[in-house]
Structure 1
């Protein structure tokens, strides 16, 4: 299986915002993954600090 995280950085302004938002995404979802079985088909949307959808993660077949 694969864990795939996709984040659209198009709306982020500069390196500083990108670093801050990506760090937030990784911290939040890293801590939240314990609530999922992490089986093929599991997925969720990813939101930025303004609660805009900026991506998703999913578990797929390899």
Structure 2
């Protein structure tokens, strides 16, 4: 399916990508706290909305 070289490249890419993302986030954490304060509520509302859609789908399926 995948050669050994492709799997090694994928592993290296994933590890590198995650490391760069963590480094970038830690570098900008002060700016994130200042500019994106309260953005967690957007995530909560989005998850509640998806839950409501799932519940409606489940109840109307019968």
TM-score bucket of the superposed structures, by smaller chain: 0.3 to 0.5
- Greater Rg over alpha carbons, structure: 2
Higher helix fraction (1 or 2): 2
TM-score, normalised with respect to structure 2: 0.41
TM-score, normalised with respect to structure 1: 0.41
